[in-house]
A and B are shown apart, each in its own frame.
Chain A
């Protein structure tokens, strides 16, 4: 049971291409691989712990302020993540800038709390949250690898395209600036959605 809760969100029910949640930040933070990885980790921690905490509280939460309680818990966790990044990963927190704060608005978190954590026990909820965060992270990393490699010719900041290939140095190659811009993120993501849909259609 827990195995399925963990594996489903990674591929079969991946939050981004299949459930169409969390697309906004997937477009924004995928220019480079490193910030995408930190973002994936931050979202994974927030989804995991917010699902677990709210599952622990699920029998005490007053119905009328249910959403507000969820927001307070998620917001508190996001602020914690932001503060910790500022203290221990200063450079990356500068690169992610506003997007860490915007984890609060990531639809995956509220979606999983409403759909799963409020009707399940804490441990499965924790696993479900983590797995959805990881599923989100896989897509983020895939998109950012394509964008950083084709847009900047680097991965994790290391140059992979030999310098002498570039037109500026008498070669034939030029980085494709379009990959740095948001529209290309949408197109790359669209291709990934296509692959997932084609696969899932065959499976059922």
Chain B
């Protein structure tokens, strides 16, 4: 008897309708309840990343960084004022890796030619290979490199490991992460392009 009732159409449809309504309500509740914390995490991470690009990991964000825009296209730009008064200009980067988007921040010295610091992040690069772009092993060598060769904007090349020695316009890539390394190279060139007229203007 019980089995017959459980096989009826009406029972099945009612059961399904009730179940999905309950589950949907529960998930909506959880999502709304946790959203403030999740947004705070995302925000904190963005601020920490920006601070890392100017080597100020554990400092308060508001004290050093001002958000602003550059040029007539209103490009996002962050200005960092260090304790000694020197200014660093932080440019957000966006590009494509091997499996998904890449992001990063590039901090320039106030000559707008040399790099003060760089951080990179990614969504889904291969762990242990392409994903290593997030480590300081990859990003530290960017410091002091130049975006210009003479008066020509050449950006930064990411070369095969060991090839960038003494080259002011290149850094080492990651063995086994060539496509991600190339993605970083393209990301820097493409993201900086719209800023160049503005940078020239400030030189």
Contacts and interface: CB of A to CB of B under 8 A. Distances in A.
A65 B15 contact: yes
A87 B15 contact: no
A83 B176 CA distance: 33
Contacts, number: 68
Interface stretch (A56-64, A102-110, A111-119): A56-64
Interface residues of A, number: 30
Interface in A40-76: 59-65, 68-69, 72-73, 76
A127 interface: no
Nearest to B129: A180
Interface string B10-23: 01100110011001
Interface residues of B, number: 28
Contacts of B11: 62
A88 interface: yes
A60 B19 CA distance: 12
B31 interface: yes
Nearest to B44: A90
Interface string A162-197: 000000000000000100110000000000000000
Residue picked from B7, B34, B129, most chain A C-beta under 10 Å? B34
B34 to A, nearest CB: 4
A84 interface: yes
A26 interface: no
A72 B23 contact: yes
